Structures are given as structure tokens and as C-alpha cells.
Amino acid sequence: MSRSALPLNAIHAFLVTARHLNLTRAASELCITQGAVSRKIATLESWLGFPLFARHARGLHLTEQGAALLPELQQGYAMLVNATEKASRSNASIRLKAPTCAMRWLVPRLVALEQQRPEIHVALTTTLDHASQLENYDAAIVFGTPPAGSIRLFDERLTPVLGSNITPPVGISDLARFTFLHPTNDSRDWQMWLADQAATVPMARNQHFATMDLAISAAIQGFGATVADVTLVQNDLANGRLIAPFANSVATGAAYSLLQCAEQDAPPFLPDLVAWLCQPQNETHSSALADFD
């Protein structure tokens, strides 16, 4: 056999068998037959030129040469596995889960991150479950009361918004002429903002949506007025898609928070993604990038 043809599969079989000193258990772990294990070990013994195991009535025993070789092969094989796993992880995507209502805030930041750091790959999954936990993702944005161990991204503050092509209301009472777009199946968000202004406005026409993002999209298209989180509509206001006719906003007590997996389970660049998303809202992406240099 050519000395260049190092039998790596046979080395793995030897390491597993040396750990168990039992062909049956080694075959079970390797998911092959006992005969296949024996053949792999025989291949390695032929390559080395000496026996690795001696058979006794009570099972297998390492030969003197096999016992001397074992620690170095274990170390070398572990280094090989670690190197390949590291190379694989460096190409892996960061699995991020977020509620659909956060997309207006999140997607522009992910686009900017991809432009600045193309080596960071984020696989985004959206959910309608605002309070869902990390589950099997690397990171998750959740809405509501911040869970233990999470990073608070921003608090929810609601204010009325409507499409920029609609004549804005003169005062709060003038809202009555609009269709009220509700981010939920009830009117609690609107009622919370109105109560904070000590105002009562009749809601003659109403449309309810499953998420705030849908209500915002309807407002942009001119269907009516909705209450929206001031952070989520920041880009829409800046780009002129929406207008906020009133300066007042109300805190709901809820927040958008970020969960991340344990450090030992984290893929490469997860800390970079977390740092990027946690930048204060008034900082530019270029200044955020400086923290990564």
C-alpha cells in the first residue's frame, strides 16, 4: 500500500474500538458490522506494519505498540475534526428569527450589514409569534416583556401615521374622518394613544390587521390612519412614505429584545451581528462599522 494513502476511516475505527475495547459496541457507534470494523483495523495494521489489538478471552486489549500510538492518533484526529468543523462554521449562516412586525426596522439594517460585511451571512426566518423564544435559532428578536438574559433593542412607542398623499388631520378630533387601521384584532393600541391625549374620537370606520406591518402598509397606500411604533416607521417617515401629524407618542410598556445562543454554540460573526443590531438608533451604519475594525 502506498504510504501516501493514509487510511483515515481505518484510524477512526481504531480510535472508536480502542475506546470501547469491544467490537460490538464499536460497530454500533460506527453503524457498520463487526466484520467491517475488523477489516478497517486490519487495513490500518497493514499500513503500519504491526498489530494494534490482541484478542483475549475477556475481549480486546491494545498491544504495546497500539497503546503507544493511541494518544498521538487521538490528538491528531481531534485536530483534524476541529479544523474541518471550524472551516465549515466559517461558511455557516447565522440563523435569525424575528416577528414580521419588526421587518421595517430589521431589514434595512441587515441590508446595510451585508453591504459593509459581505462575509456575514444571515438566514432570516419570520414568525407571527411575537413572544416566541430562541428555540433552535442562533438569535431571535422577540416582542413584549424582555426575557431574562435578553438585550433590549428599543421600547415600543405609538403615534398616529398616515400616507403622505392624504391631507393630514388638523387636530385630534379630525381623525374621525379617517378609516382607523388597527394593528390588532381590537382597538387597544388606538385607545391607548387617545387615552394618553385625554381625547375621545368616534371610530366610524375600522379595519383590523394581523400585524402592525400590514396596518402600516395599508396606511402608506392611503387606506386610512394607523398607530405605529415610532422606531419601526423611522425610515418611512424619513423617506416621505408616511407622515406623523402629531408629536405625541405613548409608551406601551412592551419592547423589542434580542436573544442569542450560548457562546460555545454560537456561529462565527454572531457577536458582530448582535453589536450591529444593538447600535443606538441615531448612529449611522458607518460609525457602527468602526466598532468592528
Residue 133 CA: distances (Å) to CA of 101, 175, 212, 258, 263 = 16, 37, 20, 10, 17
DSSP 3-state of 49: coil
- Return the DSSP state at 100: G
The three three-digit cell numbers of residue 116, written as one number: 459593509
265, 133 contact by CB (below 8 A)? no
* Average pLDDT value for residue range 176-203: 95
**Can you tell me which residue has the cell 423564544?**
133
Nearest CA among 159, 155, 154 for reference residue 183: 159
Instruction: Say how far apart CA 270 and CA 289 lie, in whole Å.
Output: 15
Round to whole Å and give the CA distance between 137 and 6: 38
| Residue 56 pLDDT > 90 | no
pLDDT at 242 over 60: yes
Minimal CA–CA distance to 32: which of 53, 17, 52, 47? Answer: 17
pLDDT of residue 123: 93
How many residues are listed for the chain in this entry?
293
What is the percent of the chain where pLDDT is above 90? 67
Q: What does the pLDDT average to over 18-26?
A: 90
Task: Quote the pLDDT of residue 292.
Answer: 35
> How deeply is 228 buried, as exposed, middle or buried, from its count of CB atoms within 10 A (0-12, 13-18, 19+)?
buried
| Proportion of the chain above pLDDT 70, given as a percent | 91
pLDDT of residue 279: 87
Q: What is the average pLDDT score of the chain?
A: 88
Report the pLDDT value the prediction gives residue 189, as an integer from 0 to 100.
96
Q: Does 89 have pLDDT greater than 80?
A: no
Confidence band, pLDDT 50/70/90 cuts, at residue 289: very low
Confidence of residue 86 (pLDDT cuts 50, 70, 90): low
pLDDT tens-digit map of 261-270: 998 888 889 9
Render 179-219 in DSSP notation, one character per residue: PEEESSSSSHHHHHHHHHTT------SEEE-SSHHHHHHHH
pTM, whole model, 2 decimals?
0.65
Amino acid 91: pLDDT: 58
Cell of 231: 422606531
Q: Is the pLDDT of residue 4 over 90?
A: no
